[in-house]
Amino acid sequence: MNTFCYAESPLGRLLLTSDGNALTGLYTAPERKSQATEGWAQEAGTEPLAATLRQLSEYFAGTRRDFDLPLRLDGTAFQTRVWRELLQIPYGETWSYGQLAKRIGNPGASRAVGLANGRNPISILVPCHRVIGADGSLTGYGGGLERKRWLLAHEGALNLSRETAPSRGLHQVAMDFRSAAE
């Protein structure tokens, strides 16, 4: 059964989707995906959505660096290869699109890697935010560069103030997120 839920986070409202066995989506701009949930059940308490909410709460509180959740990544063979390699980027580190292309064995595919990165259906957990330009610049992010900047700062990959969350400070929003997930 396809289920979904919303969660408030330091990045704003998130949309989580599941097929009942695995997480199928985590969107930082849910208004772009809400039509995809028509006819689905809104069930935050079912697995794997409940576990995802718990682990996201820990991530935003700064106590979790890795996620242990079942994921279903639907895309082309190339896209899924890119997305699987994104899972290898360590917390607090960044890779360039070129590095990612080399890692999947296709060093000339930086642009194609960027396109696949932009179609990642499970943001944050499949850390497409950790991919940057060859010159170190923040380039493209489906949820917006402000959210990408915040995520990288939260993980210590950028030297920015943690108070750059879209609205309130990290601690208060993380506490609110934890309360909503319980």
Active-site positions read 128
Q: Which of 90, 59, 86 is nearest to 154 (CA)?
A: 59
The rounded Cα 155 to chain-centroid distance in angstroms is 13
Q: Which of 61, 73, 76, 48 is nearest to 127 (CA)?
A: 73
The rounded Cα 102 to chain-centroid distance in angstroms is 22
CB atoms within 10 A of CB 14: 23
Q: Are 15 and 34 in contact (CB under 8 A)?
A: yes
Q: Tokens standing for 29?
A: 């701009």
